[in-house]
Amino acid sequence: MVGRLETGIDVLDRKLDGGLPPGCVVAYTADAASQSELLLYELTAARGTLYLTTERSDHLVRHAIETSKARVGSPTIRYLNAENSLEEASRLVGALPDGANLIIDTVDVLEQAERSRYVSFLNELKMQMLETGSIAILHCLKDDRPANRSATTHLADIVFDLRTTVGATELENHLTIPKFRGGGAPTEAIKLELSNAVEIDTSRDIA
């Protein structure tokens, strides 16, 4: 679709008619024990990326990206201290260049702020994405939902939901897109193989 920005992940770009709309905010929900970060790493290959990490150190994130076997870029990585994470995130987002990716991994720490302050941050984030034609991806862990998670998913334009199930003989990952403001999202679950790269799992059809 004309005007969309490629994610750099072929499987997603094919399903999303070419990519994501410029200016969008994506809430990406996943289990902490999943390989969800692999998708984040591959997003850095598409364009310049500011990667804000709130739990792992910037050194550990950089090492994970540099040693990944997937196609990745060279993002700018900054660690957000928990004591002033919301203010520091606002400052860094305010300096984001045009047409960039912003990744916040994880947004759970920011969601612990007082609700009105956090909602203000999300609205300012959205305006910055629109002004710069950029894309924001907020990595949200499902295991311990902060009180402000509802604000994240409500204000987000798009929700990616990764479900990881462990069976007796295999592990399966299914990505669904239950929310896509403005329409244009696939209605079926996408079965992914998350190992060295993000790929479609064609071993068998989705039940």
Domains of the chain: residue spans and CATH: 10-200 (3.40.50.300)
* Neighbouring residues of 23: CB distance < 8 A, sequence distance ≥ 6: 126, 129, 130, 133, 134, 135
How confident is the model over 76-99, as pLDDT tens digits? 999 998 889 999 999 999 999 999
Tell me: cis bond preceding 106? Omega within 30 of 0 counts.
yes
Would you give the DSSP letter of residue 141?
E
121/19: higher pLDDT = 121
How confident is the model over 124-166, as pLDDT tens digits? 999 999 999 999 999 999 988 899 999 999 999 999 999 988 7
Distance CA(103)–CA(136), nearest Å, equals: 6
Q: Are strands 158-166 and 171-180 parallel, antiparallel or unpaired?
A: antiparallel
Distance CA(156)–CA(24), nearest Å, equals: 8
